[in-house]
Amino acid sequence: MIELVMITTVNLPPQKCGKLDPTHASATLLFQKDPPANVQLFQEVPKGQCEEDMVGRPLPHLAAAMQASGEAVYCDDIPRYENELSLRLVTSTRAHAKIKSIDTSEAQKVPGFVCFISADDVPGSNITGIGNDEMVFAKDKVTCIGHIIGAVVTDTREHAQRAAQAVRITYEDLPAIITIEDAIAKDSFYEPELKIEKGNLTKGFSEADNIVSGELYIGGQEHFYLETHCTIAVPKGEAGEMELFVSTQNTTKTQSFVANMLGVPANRILVRVKRMGGGFGGKETRSTVVSTAVALAAYKTGRPVRCMLDRDEDMLITGGRHPFLARYKVGFMKTGRVVALKVEHYSNAGNTLDLSQSIMERALFHMDNCYNIPNIRGTGRMCKTNLPSNTAFRGFGGPQGMFIAEHWMSEVAVTCGLPAEEVRRKNMYKEGDLTHFNQKLEGFTLSRCWEECLASSQYRARKREVDKFNEENCWKKRGLSVLPTKFGISFTVPFLNQAGALVHVYTDGSVLLTHGGTEMGQGLHTKMVQVASRTLKIPTSKIYISETSTNTVPNTSPTAASVSTDLNGQAVYDACQTILKRLEPFKKKNPSGSWEDWVTAAYLDAVSLSATGFYK
């Protein structure tokens, strides 16, 4: 209201309101949004690089044309099987409650009703999850709204929706813990408590000229991938075999969890992924809550079963980015140099641990951002609450840790009365420094990158323009900021940093490539084709990736941690090198021959044209 009065007043003619203060003039201007513009900087390929070598060249995403035209096949685009059934999950409407009864009588009256499945139908183990602290189906008690209690199976998706809504569940409500503050007050945490420390905190604070303390809350975030969770399970009719088409970043965990639930060896479960419509971490582990339910329905009915979540279901059930609460205390000198830092981190993990410990670990690894703080201590607690389990999300705890760091760093700059970029620059790591987790920084280029960024963005000149505008204008202000950032790629769990690949060369010279990573729009398959093309020295048009599957590359790590190109690329390179070694004798015999000539000669000489690759 005050803003509207001010705008109205300054727009009055001079005879009515008097002479307008020049600093108020900008309040009369409408907001103007300039057309967006961007610049891409890239390195040119070295002179002499073969034209068919697409590494470093602008190669379009392999599926771009199909995706743009709507021809790309996603999980739910797979044609229905003749006798296929549809599944709809039945979930809790209470945050924390005992299950008193489940009444499916009205659901059974819905046309096409086949069955209702629950924990009582599980032939193997109902215990699941990364920390073995989840259930495929809730039994006796629910611990969040959206907790999966059972599922209805019908002939169509519409009938499944009606039947699920007709299931009546009675509850006995129990006290619920929802927020981080609730969990702290009630001492509701997952173990262990995490801590990272360097230097002497007491000494650091005693030497500081100033000390600032505060609290910062960071909210959660929904993944909102375009394609919601989807699974199609097809029983094969013998020996417990089952084939699953899944929208998942984690084929091996899906295979493992389904096998454990059905009580069969993993070699009976085949998981296949063509592509996903986005993942962002939300399909690293949480896709299994759908896959296990669908697999059980297929097992019980002996028929193919499909489930694709509606958007509201997906958002209700699967969790998102962890909300964080930070309580910090920072000691610093008048010059802006930070000498001591203590941060207590709390995350809202939800009703199961899932990946919350690893996410908190990464938050602690990033609590310094790019700053060398001689005396530092960070602690982390994962709060056990009655919300759907939060999970992996782009950055995996790193953004929360760095956001907190930049918050208190800004406070330091304001308290010292110094430009924020100057304070940040003063505290940055240098070559040879040790991080708070004892990594020595070698080949460290942050200072150079920082100065290049300031220069290329004309930061200092633009900052002077912003300051001048703010001095001259009372009601409208502008801001400009520059921040450093770091991110540790790869998994913090060492054994996950491995990958496999499989390369088949056919007698017509075409190559079928498979690796352990999944495609979710990030272009991983495109990059793997580039690696194979360069290594084999053949055009990318000769190489094809059909899908990711557990029967071609087993024991895969999830496509996550910003490391899939590095891991899978090296595995592809390894497999292609094996093929090249086998073809080498035929190249020597016929140096002027073509790729097809060498492949045919190898085949006629009974040389294997298939190779596996591995990297760790």
Span 179-195, average pLDDT: 99
pTM (predicted TM-score):
0.94
pLDDT of residue 389: 99
Structure tokens at 119: 């924990």
Interatomic CA distance for residues 132 and 56, integer angstroms: 43
For domain 494-615, give the CATH number: 3.30.365.10
CATH number for domain 85-172, candidates 3.90.1170.50, 1.20.1090.10, 3.40.50.300, 3.10.450.50:
3.90.1170.50
Interatomic CA distance for residues 150 and 137, integer angstroms: 6
Q: Per residue in 192-226, pLDDT tens? A: 999 999 999 999 999 999 999 999 999 999 999 99
Of the given ranges (16-20, 253-257, 388-392), which has the lowest mean pLDDT?
16-20
Interatomic CA distance for residues 282 and 321, integer angstroms: 9
Which residues, at least 6 apart from 21, have a Cβ–Cβ distance to it below 8 Å?
Answer: 474
Q: Per residue in 322-377, pLDDT tens? A: 999 999 999 999 999 999 999 999 999 999 999 999 999 999 999 999 999 999 99
State in words which class domain 180-222+320-472 has.
Answer: alpha beta
pLDDT of residue 6: 60
Three-class SS state of 144: coil
Three-class SS state of 215: strand
Q: In which band, very low, low, confident or very high, does the pLDDT at 18 lie, cut at 50, 70 and 90?
A: low
pLDDT at residue 422 greater than cutoff 60:
yes
**Number of neighbouring beta carbons within 10 Å of residue 563:** 19
pLDDT of residue 41: 78
Please provide the DSSP assignment of 393-458 as one string.
-TTTTHHHHHHHHHHHHHHHHHHHT--HHHHHHHHB--TTPBPTT--B--S--HHHHHHHHHHHTT
Tell me the percentage of the chain whose pLDDT exceeds 90: 91
pLDDT at residue 293 greater than cutoff 70:
yes
pLDDT of residue 3: 59
Place of tokens 């003619």: 13
pLDDT at residue 280 greater than cutoff 70:
yes
- Is 189 in contact with 383 (CB distance < 8 Å)? yes
Please provide the DSSP assignment of 149-168 as one string.
EEEEEESSHHHHHHHHHH-E
Query: Residue 101's Cα: distance from chain center in Å?
Result: 37
- Is 543 in contact with 587 (CB distance < 8 Å)? no
HEC states along 355-401?
CHHHHHHHHHHCCCCCECCCEEEEEEEEEECCCCCCCCCCCCCHHHH
Residue type, 331: G
Q: Per residue in 65-79, pLDDT tens? A: 999 999 999 999 999
Which residues, at least 6 apart from 244, have a Cβ–Cβ distance to it below 8 Å?
Answer: 231, 232, 233, 234, 254, 258, 269, 270, 271, 272, 291, 294, 295
pLDDT at residue 494 greater than cutoff 60:
yes
pLDDT of residue 20: 61
- Is 345 in contact with 324 (CB distance < 8 Å)? yes
Structure tokens at 98: 């005992």
Span 137-154, average pLDDT: 99
pLDDT of residue 14: 58
Domains 180-222+320-472 and 494-615 share a fold: yes
User: Which element (helix H / strand E) includes 343?
Assistant: strand 338-350
pLDDT of residue 58: 86
Q: Per residue in 552-574, pLDDT tens? A: 999 999 999 999 999 999 999 99
Interatomic CA distance for residues 577 and 536, integer angstroms: 8
From edge to edge, which strands make up the β-sheet containing 499-505?
543-544, 511-515, 499-505, 610-615
Interatomic CA distance for residues 76 and 275, integer angstroms: 11
Of the given ranges (7-11, 155-159, 260-264), which has the lowest mean pLDDT?
7-11
> In the chain, what are the domain boundaries?
85-172, 180-222+320-472, 494-615
- Is 354 in contact with 287 (CB distance < 8 Å)? no
Interatomic CA distance for residues 96 and 91, integer angstroms: 12
Q: What is the largest CA-CA distance in the chain?
A: 100
pLDDT at residue 189 greater than cutoff 60:
yes
Q: In which band, very low, low, confident or very high, does the pLDDT at 16 lie, cut at 50, 70 and 90?
A: low
What mean pLDDT is reported for the chain?
96
Place of tokens 């965990």: 253
Place of tokens 């958002």: 315
Considering Cα of 263, then 105, then 288, then 347, what sign does the dihedral take? negative
Interatomic CA distance for residues 272 and 338, integer angstroms: 51
Query: Residue 6's Cα: distance from chain center in Å?
Result: 45
